Structure 1
């Protein structure tokens, strides 16, 4: 989105933002997605495109009440998602030194909602800051949100968050609701990523074992561990989620 649309740290031309978002959404027709701008200072969306198709025909509410409305759709296992994640997210941002506050990407995966028509949604979102102040702090992110219910196991009742930043996205912070621990390490280990990249390159288990000088059983154990950790249905979903969240 065009940062030139900002005037004195506020969005000056919302309709031009909407035009850009509509163009982007038209390019990904066929997916269950919504695009928008999120105000982190007031914790509310200031623009949504495709929201009615995504969230359904919800009653009209004010912008200030929008997040309360969306929170009301959370499944009961996720009722503490907003408080837990915002507390963690705020702490992470405060820890990032000035020189590392570049190329920030924020990913949320696995939060479950139940729409008014009883349709289940398992949410993936990617947030990218679109305007920084002189200290490289941001108030607004451009958000892409997609329903990934088809990629996650039905019995996986957790969510995870990944933040990457730095010139080459070399710094990572993660949060997994299963243990609620803040980590400066990625969700997947270096070895797991190595194996997953080979899987993504269409190598079978035997080929991977030979290339890495490990046993076939070890490859299989790593694959199972990654699937269980991320909560995805199968290897195909594992590769897709790792790519969507920048892990490989």
Structure 2
């Protein structure tokens, strides 16, 4: 892959951002995680997703699944030796800052969380635009699972599954959603268009109720009768859920929310 000077400069800026938030050196035993995540990575490949293990402190891809060609159009040789630089080069210009945004975002969220909520994280990012070798863009969903964290609870090593969800999304925005804690949970959502984070689920409890009934096959009138609200209110909830998640239609909304275990 031919990598531009602009991309290399962006990588340097990303590394500066990461160094600011991750100042301490930590040695990680990659091998034990390669063994642990091998089966799940194979499962992801069978589902059409590309998997990577990413060391955020070193801004380094430790391992990438073998289905690069199927996912991005490049074979392993074309992708080159610097996997991180090559992957960043796939990001479209408006989304190339994602890694530095993500590193800053999770640092800020964790900084204000009690230690009990730093024990377990589940992170999603969707709407991220990547280039395919053909020149076409893909909108992707990233499931991000921290494998190892430092003493402050900041994640150091991620297992990331990347799936093409172009058929589900509209618009040019991306979102980051983090679920923190094991028993009691806190949820934070970042929207690139607004460049701000809110401490709340992407859908309200009432919207999730409506969505669950939609999944069961009920129509607007039936849902309205069960929840004792007007059909117009049901339709408003539906429109709000589509707008808030950037999904194309109700089927796409259901698919995305299932991917994130919201419903």
TM-score range, shorter chain: 0.7 to 0.9
Would you say the 8 A contact 1:106–1:161 is kept in 2? yes
Q: Which residue of 1 aligns with 2:123?
A: 106
Quote the Cα distance in structure 2 between the aligned partners of 1:139 and 1:129. 7
Q: Given the superposition, is the C-alpha separation of residues 29 and 228 from structure 1 closer, same or farther in structure 2, using an over 3 Å criterion?
A: same
Q: Residues 147-198 of structure 1, C-alpha deviation per residue, up to 9 Å, x if partnerless?
A: 1111112xx1101010001113621011001111111112212221121122
Confirm or deny: 8 A CA contact 1:75 1:112 kept in the other structure.
yes
- The equivalent residue for 2:31 is 13
3-state SS of paired residue (1:46): strand
1:146 corresponds in structure 2 to 163
> SS of the counterpart of 2:71?
helix
Residue number among 125, 133, 139 corresponding to 1:116 in the alignment: 133
User: What is the correspondence of 1:177-216 to structure 2 with a 5 Å cutoff?
Assistant: 177-216=192-231
Unmatched 5+ residue regions in structure 1? 1-7
1:22-42 deviation line (CA, Å, top 9, x unaligned): x33443555331112111111
Structure 1 residues 230-239 or 31-40, which shifts more? 31-40
Cα contact 1:230–1:238 (8 A) shared by 2 = yes
1:35 paired residue among 51, 56, 64: 51
* Partner Cα separation in structure 2 for residue 52 and residue 140 of structure 1: 25
Q: Compute the TM-score of the two structures, normalised by the length of structure 1.
A: 0.84
Q: TM-score, normalised by structure 2?
A: 0.80
Higher helix share: 2
Three-state SS of the structure 2 residue aligned to 1:27 is helix
**Cα pair distance change 1:227/1:34, threshold 3 Å:** same
SS in 1 for 2:177: strand
Alpha-carbon separation, structure 1, partners of 2:36 and 2:183: 30
Structure 1 residue 86 displacement after superposition? 2.7
Given that residues 75 and 114 in structure 1 are in contact (C-alpha distance below 8 angstroms), is that contact kept between their aligned partners in structure 2? Answer: yes
State the aligned residue count. Answer: 235
Q: What residue number does 2:235 align with?
A: 220
Distance 1:20 1:100 in 2: 24
Unaligned runs of 5+ in 2: 1-25
Equivalent residue for 1:3? none
Separation in structure 2 between the aligned mates of residue 20 and residue 85 of structure 1, nearest angstrom = 22
Residue among 61, 68, 81 paired with 2:80: 61
- Say if 1:215 and 1:133 are closer, same or farther in 2 by CA, change over 3 A: same
- Cα separation, partners in 2 of 1:138 and 1:177, compared to 1, 3 Å: closer
Between the aligned partners of 1:161 and 1:169, the Cα distance in structure 2 is 20
Q: Distance in 2 between matches of 1:81 and 1:134?
A: 25
Separation of aligned partners in 2, 1:88 and 1:244: 22
